[in-house]
A and B are shown apart, each in its own frame.
Chain A
Amino acid sequence: ELIKGQGRGCLLKEIHLNVTDLGLGYQTKEELIFRYCSGPCYDSETNYDKILNNLTQNKKLDKESPSQTCCRPVAFDDDLSFLDDSLEYHTLKKHSAKKCACV
């Protein structure tokens, strides 16, 4: 049984990366597990989403195109700390997903 609001295809995935892969400008050799939300959200579409779809197709909304249901984090992983090459510590917050849902 599918929990309301949770798309069947929207899942938590993870990838092992170097901190430098994040592209946040840090110089370090440390690593992390980055977790992200990915997958389709068709299953959890509400009437709101169907209406938006129809209105966009029928060109009733002029140039507007409001966002549709997205597979997004609804909770974040614990903070991550690392030491950079100049021996300075950094702590990343809300950098990695813990729980996903179609929102």
Chain B
Amino acid sequence: PALAKENNCLNAAKACNLNDTCKKYRSAYISPCTSRVSTAEVCNKRKCHKALRQFFDKVPLRHSYGMLYCSCPPGDQSACSERRRQTIVPACSYEEKDKPNCLALQESCKSNYICRSRLADFFSNCQPEVRSLSGCLKENFADCLLSYSGLIGTVMTPNYLRSPKISVSPFCDCSNSGNSREDCEQFTKFFTDNVCLRNAIQAFGNGTDVSTWHSTAV
């Protein structure tokens, strides 16, 4: 059927390259994020992160969100979802040789003022509330999506995990947590299993959230 073949993430990439602003800032981050600087490093991560922050700062949301929050058929593990995972060029912006502990990563985020404030915004705006219809304590998907995308280009850069459900995480885990294991798992769950964030992403992908357009019109 035609519907199953529709790749929303590909369509968003096409729309971006037909828009001069999106095209310009897209290649402005893909270049540094894919240029090898030495035999040891696949890219200059600092430049890649900076260009990614610029992309989400300067490009109209319908294009930047269109690529970041595009919806893929449930169970799709290939064309659509892989493209969505590649949006931020994870080989440079996300992956590291070693996976740090999430609480240690949070500490290093707190030592940087951009990261610290963006992480605080994310925790405040994507706070889940199971009793609310939206799944969010602050019933505002637009603010949640904005704070999530604001983390991209910090040490807390999150990305989609290869999972049948929508699940995201920064590049860290809870090994070597010692007696802070519970705190660490609570921290990771806010990313990987957050009903507010998941509903916000799904609502954007399905085009069912009109508030996003009204409250953050650029």
Contacts and interface: CB of A to CB of B under 8 A. Distances in A.
Contacts of A89: 30, 33-34, 86, 89
Residue from A16, A30, A83 with most neighbouring chain B CB atoms (10 Å):
A83
Interface stretch (B19-27, B99-107, B115-123, B144-152): B19-27
Nearest to B21: A78
Contact of A29 (B10, B28, B89): B10
Nearest to B14: A31
A16 B18 contact: yes
B83 interface: yes
Contacts of B139: none
A16 B31 CA distance: 23
Q: Report the contact-size class of chain B (Cβ under 8 Å from the partner).
A: 20 to 34
Residue from B17, B24, B33 with most neighbouring chain A CB atoms (10 Å):
B17
Contacts of B82: 87
A30 B33 CA distance: 19
A53 interface: no
Interface string A31-47: 11100000000000000
B24 A78 contact: yes
12 contacts: A30-B10, A30-B17, A31-B17, A78-B24, A79-B27, A81-B26, A81-B27, A81-B30, A83-B13, A89-B89, A91-B31, A91-B34
Interface of B: 7, 10, 13-14, 17-18, 20, 23-24, 26-28, 30-31, 33-34, 82-83, 86, 89
Interface of A: 16, 29-33, 78-83, 87, 89, 91
